[in-house]
A = this chain, B = another copy of it.
Amino acid sequence: MFRIQPHSPEPIFQQLVDQVKDAVTQGLLREGDKLPSVRELARQVTVNPNTVVKAYDLLERDGVIVRRQGAGCFLTGKTTNLDPAERQARLDAALAQAVSEGLHLDFDAAAIRAALEAALKRQSPG
């Protein structure tokens, strides 16, 4: 289920974090589901267990999972634990970044809107 690109500039632990959040937003994983154990996931994607631990640290920090000693890691069903103001600020920053990149690539507003719709179609569950 998890796919890692070892030579990507995006850190491996970040790829794992994003893929877990993606799975939740797309309904593949739900509240109460159990993630693979640290050792098991490390084996599946052939990375060091410490790298998985770091990913799980971030997922716990973001309120995505809870860990239970000796039991495992379980999904809360959420993908963020930020307050509304902070969430909006991060959304705006993400889009501002994408728009800036698009303009730098010499695209106009229409082309950027089209790219957004394509991305939404790919990722949005609805």
Q: List residues of chain A with CB under 8 Å of any chain B CB.
A: 6-7, 11, 18, 21-22, 25, 57, 61, 66, 68-69, 71, 78-80, 82-83, 87, 90-92, 94-109, 111-113, 115-116, 118-120, 122-124, 126
Contacts and interface: CB of A to CB of B under 8 A. Distances in A.
Copies in the complex: 4
Given A105-B79, A105-B82, A107-B91, A100 B123 contact: yes
Main DSSP-derived SS at the A contact region: helix
A106 B94 contact: no
Nearest to A24: B104
A87 B107 contact: yes
Nearest to A61: B61
A33 to B, nearest CB: 15
A91 B99 contact: no
Contact of A105 (B69, B90, B100, B113): B90
Given A69-B11, A80-B105, A105-B82, A94 B98 contact: yes
A25 to B, nearest CB: 4
